[in-house]
Structure 1
Amino acid sequence: MKSDQDKHPDQTNPPFLLEGGIVSSLIQTMDWSCSPLGAPRQWSSSLKTLMATILPAQAQIVLFWGPEYVALYNDAYTPTIGAKHPLALGRPAQENWTELWDDLEPLLSGVRNTGQTFSAKDRPFYIERSGYGETAYFDVSYSAVHEIDGTVGGVLCIVAETTERVQFERRQSFLLELGQALPELNEPEQIEAYAIERVGQQLGAARVFLAEAQGDDLQVRIARDWVNGASSRIGELRYADIAAQLPEQLGRGFIVNAAETASVYVPVLRGNRLEAMLGVEFAQPHFVDKDQCLLLEDTAKRVWQAITHARSERALRASSAHLEATFAELMALNECLEERVSSMLAEREEANRQLHEASKMEMIGQLTGGIAHDFNNMLTPIIASLELIRRHPEDAQRSVRLIDGALQAADRARILVGRLLSFARRQTLKPQAVCLATLVDEMHELIARSLGPTIEVVVQIDPQLPNVLVDPHHLELALLNLVINARDAMSNGGRVYLAAGVGEDDPTWPENVHGRQVWLQVRDSGCGMSQEVLGRCFEPFYSTKQVGKGTGLGLPMVQGLAAQSGGGFVIKSQPGQGTQATLWLPVSRGQVSEPLAEGAEDIMAQGPLQVLLVDDEDIVRNATALQLRDLGYQVAEAASPAQARQLLADGLVMDVLVTDQIMADETGAEFAQRLRQRHPQLPVLIITGYANLTPRELNGFAVLRKPFRRAELAESLAQLLALNSPLTEPPEASTG
């Protein structure tokens, strides 16, 4: 029989309960008369000592004491059991962990009987702690606690809940699988069937469907569903029949729980308009937690986007096939040609509009198509010319013409690549101090010739403006692009204004333009642009010009140059009021360099200079080696940095290093930096196709962009060797 002291707390609290937080206070005020442990003052010294450690601890700890596994825990543990607290405190575990006792009891008894510790990572437990059942995950460590006499008094459990991390990883794995599978499916029906089946399997649902909105009355149609022991719901129903609280719920997913079933519905909206709804229904009560809601919301958006894209592609294919078939019929019948072609073109334009709407976020696809188209046009004359030369090598005069044509096409390809890299901000620029007034003055004849006699050029640029820091070649291309665009907007003639000024942190400037900047403005009196065209003018390969009049890369190239140079670019235009393009460039503290002497192509090697050439592409390395030897250099070739090191170890004495940048095991910059550690004066020329080298990587290295001509290679080496003395000792020579 319990004494009155068991029913009422001691007037003087035991010392081990003085610093234990809320749980400690509960222990002091609880009625312990019905507990197998009795009052805290009667607990064994081992239990008191252990509780003095557990109660103030920040770790989540629960102690199951005695053969009844009476639960004692600290404040940090209470969120783990939710609504079970405080009823579970001081009571046998089986009373409050009923739903998981068949899982928990073997773990506790195993530790108690054997004395061996049990630990696990991400151990799942089914627990009812918030009014519903759920599977939670924990890192656990169960250890036996001994009394003074050596017997096992209880089981100490240290836990850390990992539910959110486990759910996040599983959700990401599901979405990754979905993201990899959907692009492989071409038809909307395949996409829908696959997605609803995977959702049903993932969540253990009885029925999953993707309903499509049918009009403003919020009628939805279920074309197909996935069922697991449930009846099909294929057909039409009203959205409001599913949720009476429709007006409040339309903007987000909602859950309907009944006594025997549970459902979750996720709407897909465009603006405020319902387009589709993902429905998941369970055959029994089911709590849909935050993680599952996030998974369903992401899935609904991705699947609907994939379906609308597949429909647009199918519509485009059908429209193209229809156009071809009808055009053949028109050619045969020759009746109502203009009217019918106009109708078909309108259909194709509408299909293209739908495809663009569904695919506007897939810029990679647009870039790939545009690049392939332009490069195929440029490769055609190159391949044709080379084949003809190979078949008739004896016709020297015709071979020269064909080679000139191939070179012209290759130069066009090189310019296109430069514009793409500039748009992507991956172009390796060579910024230097540039005087805008001088640059525009030197381009004046070219600008006037490009504009033609019907367009007047007005230049308003003060020669005293500060210099700007920019790659002069790319700035010339950008300015010429803007001038040509102005020309194309003035078919009946007009006037082009070139103006410049300087400022610092002007509030009227774009947000990304900071510091002291010089602005260069090109303004015309042409037809201007509509808001639709203005909104798309920076999209790569978007052009309103006729076929063959432009690639659609001019403005994106200018924008890329501005961003990569630390400036900005803005276009303002209205129909009938002309266009104003403004380019901001940072002020340079340096002085303008003297112009290079012409005739760089004839700069030959000054003496027997040894070049170490490193490139892992055999075709590129062989061609570069031939150019170098043609310029009078001695060349040692290496297919990798490792092979180059072996040549140096074997006694090769080099005067200059020419290396590719992107190689399999080591970049050219990394290889050169390691050689520079032993030979600080080593002249280095890095040749690169696209890498945007950082200033740290460029420290002391010259850069030549691929593709390059013999004259450019000669000029780069001449400049490099003029600034650096060639090595006079082998790089691997001993210093000691």
Structure 2
Amino acid sequence: MTLLSPTNEEKLMKRIGVLMESTRNRQMLLNWLSNAYQVHCLTEGELPTDEVFSLLLLDGSMLQRFWQQIRAYKEAAHPTCAPVALISSHPQTALLKARLWETIDDVIRIPLEKGELQARIENLIRLHQFSLESQKIAHLQAEQAHLEAQLLQTQRLENVGMVVSGVAHDVNNIFTGIKGHARYGVKLLDRDHPGVASFQHIDRHADQGARLTRHLLSFARGQAEGFTRVELCKLIHDLEPLLASALGPSIELRLELGNAPQWISANATQIEQVLMNLSINARDAMSEGGTLTLRLQTLYTSPDEQAFPEGYYLQLQVADTGSGIAEELRTRIFEPFFTTKEEGKGTGLGLATVQRILRAHRGWITVESELGRGTTFSVYLPLLDTIQESEVSHSITIEEIPQSPVEQPQSNAESLILLIEDDEDLQLLLKSFFEDEGYAVLQAQDGPGALQYCEQHGASIALVLTDVMVPQMNPKLLQEQVRRLCPQAPIVVTSGHTKAHLQQKGLLTETMSFIQKPYDLDELITLINSLLRRERTSKNISI
């Protein structure tokens, strides 16, 4: 194998196209330039289109005959087209160049020496290469600036996630207190008292606030809460007040959901996020008002449809009457950071997040749109055919507790609950509630105080209810010490974060139970009664 010398390599990289009417001039250029360049003598029917040249040389006759084609070539190939030089004997080269600036890049006056011609040609080629390199550098700089802007946006979102995560604990404490006082107020009043309805409204609004907090946590932190059986029709009805509030008074929200239960296996918070993202996009597309329609229907995909797995799917359509999406943009709307909104009004992550969530649910999304008529996003999720029993686990969550009334122990007087909670209002509420249920309560606001009670009453404590974050002590260390001092007592952990998040951080083990804030007092007491009843049953069996 013969290696090319640098001169030959350079020669292969430089191709000159020659378009000359004069046979003598054409042959002269071929003889003078062939040693240093690849020279291609073009005929009248071979004007450059897809050919890649380093330089085009032509005379006045060819320029006059084909100037429109040459200008079109330069405009089509701009900015990567080769420079065009006119070979002319006209004495006023500067005047020619000024008049023909849209078609040619330089004028080379003849006659001239071979060395001078080669120098002029080399200068034109190098200037062109320098221009191309400058354009590449400018493109790379623009791309770098774009990537830096994306990185900055991502870092801002991460900071938002940290802030949201930090305030979730306090916000959910507030909602837990609101819900608790509302339920406690209902309990103190007669069933037909007019104040009952007000307390129930307060309770429902607290649920909406708690749902929004979970939505923000899931979006900002990307938390995975695990999949459960979700009835999509009920989820949409529960989310309806929040959707209506987000859409505003100028947009009508229509629900066409049907009556039959539609069960899917899903992360409920993430599906809520899908609905919110699509609805907010629809709202922004209806600046003058309009209608947003949510439709549900069941579809079946046959084995012939190779694009999708065979089976039954639930189709959720989110249809607006907005401005629509241009056809050339539809293939890009799911790209991260791509947005058509004004700067500061969109992150470009809404639809990308929707697509990521649906893929995790073994689903997909399609879009149909017409400018001036509106857009319809169709979400497809696998439909559950049968109800599957939950696996038995030592870690009991509120979803695993039967909703039917549970038989209470004959007496709770001997049951002592250690309550570890730093929120004073919530602590007083829970103490009153537990005492009304017949339990004795020890209150601790920090880690050292909780351990002091464990040392004094260790064998008497029947159950420990603790917030995951407690002042003056590392949460893992507190859990270990409580388990050591009160090995017989079930531990129930509460937090505004999700179960999956606490497990990932090592703050929730399989031997502990979990209930997420804000919780319902009835659900909490159901969980506690169930744990204590199981504990008593276990003791009776061992005896």
What is the TM-score of this pair, normalised by structure 1? 0.35
Q: Which is bigger in relative contact order (C-alpha 8 A, separation at least 6)? A: 2
What is the TM-score of this pair, normalised by structure 2? 0.45
